[in-house]
Amino acid sequence: MRERVWNKAMLMKHVWHIAVNKDTLWVKWVNIVKLKGKSIWEINEDVNDSWGWKNILKLRQTARAHMVMEIGDGDKASMWFDIWDQIGALNTFITYRDLHNARWKADMTVKEFVVNHNGQWSVEWMIKYPQLSQIQTINLSNGKSDTLRWKNRNGGVGKFTVSQVYKHISEEVIEAKWYRLIWFSQNIPKHAFILWLAVQNKLTTQDMIIRWGSYDMMVCSLCMKNSDSHDHLFFECDFSSQLRNYMQLKLGIKGIEQSWVRTLEILAEMYNGNSIGSVLRRISLAACVCFIWQERNFRLFRGISRKWEEVLKTIIDTIRLRMMSLHYKPSLAVSKVEEQWDVKLKVCAKSAGSDG
């Protein structure tokens, strides 16, 4: 056990050296042969990669969560791939296609964004990605370099050391209870990101805004009763509770009428593997949260309101489309989902999507 943890800590050191572009022959080789001008965070694993390199790549998700960029002049920090704001790396919800369509460079630095675009997002992008409104104003410090820091499990930020990482890995519970509710291969990335924020109570709800000293129009745009909060939106609100009740019946889940935190705990205690029922349940949770949050923002910022039945139809259609894109092994469970959801699924003997 101790040897395995130590080996993992040493591999983490390699990820760190690549991320900070340490001046070593090995890192120079990696940049030329493996990265080829890209970030360590954007390359894909190749079937011809060595065992050691594959293990380094597998550690990226764990390592990345602890690597935060302190912005100086913004000249080194990647706009899309580094974590330089509390919202996280922007490429977790902004795709290459998004960048291409908007004519943004994939290798853009934070400095380029501030200097060339005044640090401002277009109205179109603010509407498409309301989470961008949570990014704090970027202040550059000329003459001060960007610095990559290691964030420990308690949120403290400091220098990277192998001993610290070893201690962190040894003590850390590798997966939080809700981890597999959000992060699984069949998820919808944008929905997963919104759910990730909601699970941590990091969506910019009105109860948070009140703490900042603003008291204008503090009423839920969905029910026009209480101010919105994570508990209220998910699912105390009259509007969202109707969506929850319908989806629970659709999924065959017995009534869960608990607080947001307790709801997550109950769902996390269920089996969260690759069975079609498990995948469907988790995709449905994320879709509900995402479209409730979207409807809330449409009403607040665009003056567009839909009935709960219309939002429900959007949720159902989105789930159906996602389930239709996956592959399944033949089983009674798969046949039952096809019947209940009025959908034709891709069923084959061997599947990389979901089990029956």
154 domain residue, yes or no: no
Helix, strand counts (H, E) of the chain: 17, 5
What's the whole-number average pLDDT of the chain?
A: 88
Cβ neighbourhood burial of 6 (10 Å; 0-12, 13-18, 19+): middle
Model confidence, pTM: 0.55
Q: How would residue 233 be classed by pLDDT, with cut points 50, 70 and 90? A: very high
Residues composing the chain: 356
274 domain residue, yes or no: yes
Number of folded domains in the chain? 3
356 domain residue, yes or no: no
> How many CA atoms, within 13 angstroms, populate the side-chain half-sphere of residue 338?
16
Is residue 236 domain-shared with residue 294, that is, in the same domain?
A: yes
User: Which tens digit of pLDDT belongs to each residue from 102-151?
Assistant: 889 999 999 999 999 898 998 889 888 888 988 988 999 999 999 999 98
Bridge partner residues of 109 (DSSP): 78
**193 vs 176, residue with greater confidence:** 193
Looking at residue 75, its amino acid is D
150 domain residue, yes or no: no
The domain in which residue 297 lies consists of 179-347
* Closest by CA position to 295, among listed 282, 309, 285: 309
Res 215: pLDDT: 54
Is residue 286 domain-shared with residue 234, that is, in the same domain?
A: yes
Is residue 24 domain-shared with residue 167, that is, in the same domain?
A: yes
141 domain residue, yes or no: no
| SS3 call for 229 | coil
- Candidate from 78-82, 232-236, 264-268, 281-285 with smallest mean pLDDT: 264-268
User: Which tens digit of pLDDT belongs to each residue from 238-265?
Assistant: 999 999 999 999 998 877 777 888 888 8
Is residue 224 domain-shared with residue 267, that is, in the same domain?
A: yes
Is residue 185 domain-shared with residue 313, that is, in the same domain?
A: yes
Residue 80 clears pLDDT 90, i.e. is over it: yes
Res 22: pLDDT: 93
Where b means 16+ CB within 10 Å and e means fewer, 225-247 reads ebebbbbbbbbbbebbebbbebb
Pairing assessment for the beta strands 346-347 and 67-70 based on DSSP bridges: unpaired
Is residue 187 domain-shared with residue 331, that is, in the same domain?
A: yes
Give the whole-angstrom CA distance, residue 126 versus residue 133. 7
Is residue 52 domain-shared with residue 74, that is, in the same domain?
A: no
Res 174: pLDDT: 42
Is residue 20 domain-shared with residue 129, that is, in the same domain?
A: no
Residues 6 or more apart whose CB falls under 8 angstroms from that of 188 comprise 283, 286, 287, 290, 318, 322
